[in-house]
Amino acid sequence: MTWFRRARVRLRVVVLLWAVIAVLSIAGATWVLYDEKAPAQRLSLNCLPFQPAKDVAGLNRQIARYRAQPGFVGADVGASATLSDGRSLWVFGDTLRPKRSEGPRFVRNSMLMFSPGCATVVMPSDHGAVVPDRKDGVGYWPMDLVAVPRGDHDLVGVSLQRVRATGKGVFDFEILGPSYALFSVKPGKAPELLLVSDRGPDSTDPTKPLWGAALEEADGWLYVYGTANPDPKTVFGRSLRVARVRPEQVGLPDHWQYWDGTTWQAEESRAAELIGAVGGVSQVLSVFHRGKDWYAVSKRDELLGTDLVIWKAPGPTGPFTPSAPLATLPSNSSDGLLRYMPLAHPDLLPSPDQLVVSYSRNVSDLTRLLENPHLYRPEFLQVPLP
């Protein structure tokens, strides 16, 4: 599921790199800074004429008719954030390129930019992933992103999960843990990758929280939500926990605080469950707030579940109360589609009592997918807020 090699790191930008340059060797984080002496990996923005939809039906018509822009045929995830210049930035997971495009046909992640009149693929000069694979072949699937204004540019933090292929099938992969990427985006310009950080050593243990499954900024804090599965053989959902950190200190594990059910404290192992795994959330979800109300948007019990649910809370730490099912998203139904990972888009067609949600579609038959990659595009729906 789930962005540019050797981007230049200028001194004036490094000063703003969330205060990490002096502590790159801190325990618990592996930092990959791109070589200043190497050629910069430039990102281009090629405009495909595009008119914003006025309703959800229009969104789905556009998705269905969207012709193959060079670099993008189909993908999943589709988390979004609004930049200070009004453009909308979207990140996608495993992405299919057109057959005759330069570079690989398949990349682990991609990025699209939407502005009035234009839909653009953010394209690295090597036509690869926007966050490039590690040298050992491990790739990065995006989970969520948040944009923070900083003077004449936005700093965009993208939470990622490290993924390693174990075969050629759709489900032949293993998750190795969370990572983070940081971009600088100037008004009207393409993003620039500043750094990539792997949090902790590679591990396939699903009981460890995957921090960054959802991100939300409020009151000067970045709230980082993590999901975990206590027993994949018998439990299909995931539990939800929360940590917080100042945005400029996100790369410093010693500055993270974890909610233990009563207070914020420094020990990750004491992080309390906000939502239990049985009947719980998907591995990746959305958490956002409007005023004092907080919402967690997900599908119960991940891929094998059916119900889209919104949990509501009076604050970022809960307690979270689930709504009745707001939509049904079955997988392996009569059309053979997999439906998973609903994500919220509060800035899209904004309404005080309605929410636009996208969900990913896929098929388990890779041959069918390559023959009709339009099946591998998000679909949108609108649901009431609890």
Cα-based distances in Å from 373 to 65, 98, 366: 12, 10, 10
Q: How far apart are the first and last CA of the chain?
A: 29
Lowest-confidence pick of 19-33, 92-106, 289-303, 310-324? 19-33
pLDDT band at 35; cut points 50, 70, 90 = very low
Q: How many CB atoms lie within 10 A of CB 351?
A: 12
Q: How many CB atoms lie within 10 A of CB 364?
A: 14
Six-digit token pair at 373? Answer: 């990659």
Six-digit token pair at 214? Answer: 């959802």
Six-digit token pair at 379? Answer: 């679909």
Q: What is the pLDDT of residue 41?
A: 53
Please state the rounded mean pLDDT for residues 249-267.
94
Mean pLDDT of the chain: 86
Cα-based distances in Å from 18 to 14, 198, 223, 230, 304: 8, 16, 15, 33, 39
pLDDT band at 44; cut points 50, 70, 90 = low
The model's pLDDT over 170-197, given as tens digits with 9 standing for 90+, comes to: 778 999 999 999 999 999 999 999 999 9
Q: Which residues contact 25 (CB under 8 A, 6 or more apart)?
A: none
The model's pLDDT over 318-330, given as tens digits with 9 standing for 90+, comes to: 999 999 999 999 9
Please state the rounded mean pLDDT for residues 63-77.
78
How far is residue 85's CA from residue 67's CA, in Å, rounded to a whole number? 26
Q: What is the pLDDT of residue 29?
A: 37
How far is residue 359's CA from residue 279's CA, in Å, rounded to a whole number? 19
Residue 140 pLDDT exceeds 90: yes
**Phi and psi dihedrals of 343, rounded to 5?**
-130, 145
pLDDT band at 310; cut points 50, 70, 90 = very high
The answer to whether the beta carbons of residues 310 and 323 sit under 8 Å apart is yes
Six-digit token pair at 360? Answer: 């990913």
Sign of CA dihedral 284, 181, 168, 337: positive
Residue 342 pLDDT exceeds 80: yes
Q: Which residues contact 42 (CB under 8 A, 6 or more apart)?
A: 124, 125, 190
Q: What is the pLDDT of residue 214?
A: 98
Place of tokens 């909308």: 88
Please state the rounded mean pLDDT for residues 14-31.
33
The answer to whether the beta carbons of residues 165 and 124 sit under 8 Å apart is no
pLDDT band at 67; cut points 50, 70, 90 = low
Helices (H), the chain: 11-14, 56-65, 366-371
Cα angle 368-100-160, degrees, rounded to a multiple of 5: 70
How far is residue 310's CA from residue 323's CA, in Å, rounded to a whole number? 5
Cα angle 382-385-386, degrees, rounded to a multiple of 5: 140
pLDDT band at 267; cut points 50, 70, 90 = very high
Q: Where do the domains of the chain lie, and which CATH numbers do they carry?
A: 11-384 (2.115.10)
- Name the more confident of 119 and 223: 223
210-218 vs 286-290, strand pairing mode: unpaired
Which three-class secondary structure state does DSSP give residue 23?
helix
Q: What is the pLDDT of residue 43?
A: 63
Residue 341 pLDDT exceeds 60: yes
Six-digit token pair at 8? Answer: 């230049």
Lowest-confidence pick of 33-42, 84-93, 267-276? 33-42
Six-digit token pair at 139? Answer: 């790739």
Q: What percent of the chain has pLDDT over 90?
A: 66
